[in-house]
Amino acid sequence: GAVVSQHPSWVICKSGTSVKIECRSLDFQATTMFWYRQFPKQSLMLMATSNEGSKATYEQGVEKDKFLINHASLTLSTLTVTSAHPEDSSFYICSASRGLRQPQHFGDGTRLSIL
């Protein structure tokens, strides 16, 4: 159990486009979902944490209006990169957790390339 599906796996789009990434927990209910960003050959950096039914909490330096997060149900969270620019190109990984002190289960990641 504990499968997390992330979609799409690869996106290439023009500068100025908005891109939505979905993260679904397929076989469990995720109280909390996390969004990470990973630049090439670097570590994962937490962008934001979302709890079902409430507003996401963003890490310092992450623009709320740029990266819109919605966690409308216990099995789905979405990250929308609005008006994407080349510097937003990165590998975005979501994870889902059943709750406090529970492990995070990671999606397969989305590679975003903005031309």
Partner 1 sequence: ELKVEQNPLFLSMQEGKNYTIYCNYSTTSDRLYWYRQDPGKSLESLFVLLSNGAVKQEGRLMASLDTKARLSTLHITAAVHDLSATYFCAVVFQYSGGGADGLTFGKGTHLIIQP
Radius of gyration over every alpha carbon of the chain, rounded to an integer in angstroms: 13
**8 makes contact with partner 1 (CB under 8 A):** no
Is the dihedral angle over the CA atoms 42, 96, 47, 77 positive or is it negative?
A: positive
Binder among 5, 17, 51, 70 for partner 1 (CB under 8 A): 51
> How many Å apart are CA 55 and CA 114, to the nearest integer?
27
**In the complex, least distance from residue 74 CB atom to partner 1, rounded to whole angstroms:** 12
Please say which residue, 5 or 82, places its beta carbon nearer to partner 1: 5
Residues 52 to 71 in contact with partner 1, rule: CB under 8 A: 57
